[in-house]
Structure 1
Amino acid sequence: MADKHVDELSGVETTGHVWDGIRELNNPLPRWWVWTFYACILWAIGYTIVYPAWPLLTTNTKGVWNVTNRAVLKDELVAANGTQKVFVDKIAAMPVADIIKDKSLSEFATAAGAAAFKVNCTPCHGSGAQGSIGYPNLNDNDWLWGGSADQIYTTISHGIRDPQDTNTRVSEMPAFGDMLKPEEIANVAAYVADLSKQPVTSGNPAAGKEIFATNCVACHGDQAQGNRDLGAPNLSDAIWLKGSGEAAIIAQVTKPKHGVMPAWTARLGDTTVKELAVFVHSLGGGE
């Protein structure tokens, strides 16, 4: 057997493990640490003997003392549910705007709505409700259907273009690729891009303004600031749901994309929808 390597400086044998030229010293563990470790093992064995611990096929070991806090936990849950029920019943009976005015109810609804949002809404709107292309950012004050508490509640409750809800919000932008020539679409895209201070590289904004006046003002308005009654977006700001820039605008004008948001009342119940509305309203963009 080869002789053990001994470190020259400390005089301690090494383990034979080497990393980047650094050898590991074979120092024993401190005795106090070893005995503490053994004591913890003995304590754990004793704990499993005295208290319920090991799972069996249909039950578990009861332990010598047969002590359990399950009954205490059950009582605490009943008490907590009773306390929550007081708030839940009040929320169920009140309009969203009135819930927000009540500080204690608003705090409870915001917390409950945040939990419901994480489970149901983050796949589309993101964990921070920041949205993405095709999914609105819920933190800003740019609202297709209005940002008041009641308007947010209606949108969540009935959804957008949900075929299962007869009261769903509906807006349909025509496919202007069937009505306008490609040059005309390029010009109106240039005009819209120019409105929001985006660079124009191809179309003619002046010619696009005339096309916009003829085809688009009915929904988007004379100043292109949108119409919440129709769900028509504001085209004069820098917030774009389907993507910004002339190419994205041309694509949307030619063959528009229409998203679908589920109607959540049937899935979650009216009380949870109210809590979601309060939470979304509290994000900072609510009006």
Structure 2
Amino acid sequence: MNALVIKALAFAAVLIVGTLIVVKQMNIDLSDPINALTMLGAIAIAVLSFGVSAKYIAQMKTDTAQGELAEENWDGIGEYKNELPAGWAYSFLGTLIWALWYFQWGYPVNAYSQIGEWNKETKAYNEKFEAVHKNADKATLQQMGESIFLVQCAPCHGTTGDGLSGKAQDFGSRMTKEQILYTIEHGSSQLGYPMGAMPPGMASGKDAEDIAAYIAGGMKGEQPASFATCAGCHGADGKGNNGMSPNLAAYDLTLVQHTLEHGKKGMIGKMPSFKTRMTPVQEKALAEYIQSLKN
């Protein structure tokens, strides 16, 4: 064994001893299978890395190229048609076999994990939360909804729900005339309602202007004849045909739930989906609070 290999293995031994000292000082329990497996892997990596590196560095110093030269070359630099070294091939195959063993038996993918424990505890807490607040009154829901709104919604919509002076949706008013005209012109397919996407160009010109002014004005006064186009899906009262399409009159629970589940393209960017991030009671509370902002 040449001097380079001996030095490499000695250096690996020093690293292993140093690692063992650190493990002892940190009181790591090597009787635990995972800790023991990790330690064995570290030792194997140290020995193989330095041993193999030293072997091939020494070999490069003494070996000369030989074999059949390939016809292709790059700027005069050719390549020999040599077989892949057996050690490399077996190491690669061994790595694949070890990986399969590790994920299925050494450390199964369905074994204990801190993330799994956290998810389990969160699920149990959410179930308890739902049971406690199942029949919460309106005042409690509004207080709960305000807390949720200030954390999740206020960064874009403002602490008072004013949309940061028009930069995002203002919850004090259902929609602006400009927003309604944009939707009429371009259609909408974001919220996943049972009646499907609203196609673009449902109205134009004065008809579109009349519809937009009527909805933006809170659907008060005389209903324009052109609103009949909208009533086919949204209902004559504009309230969405019992959840079949978006409510044009108010931010009802169904509208809030669809928006939270699917996200929505907004004026300052895409609102992400909040699916699974809120419980049904929290969604109901948020809807209750948003409705209170209009008042």
Place the TM-score, normalised by the shorter chain, in its bin: 0.3 to 0.5
Where relative contact order (Cα < 8 A, 6+ residues apart) is larger, the structure is 1
Higher helix proportion: 2
State the TM-score, normalized to the length of structure 1: 0.32
State the TM-score, normalized to the length of structure 2: 0.32
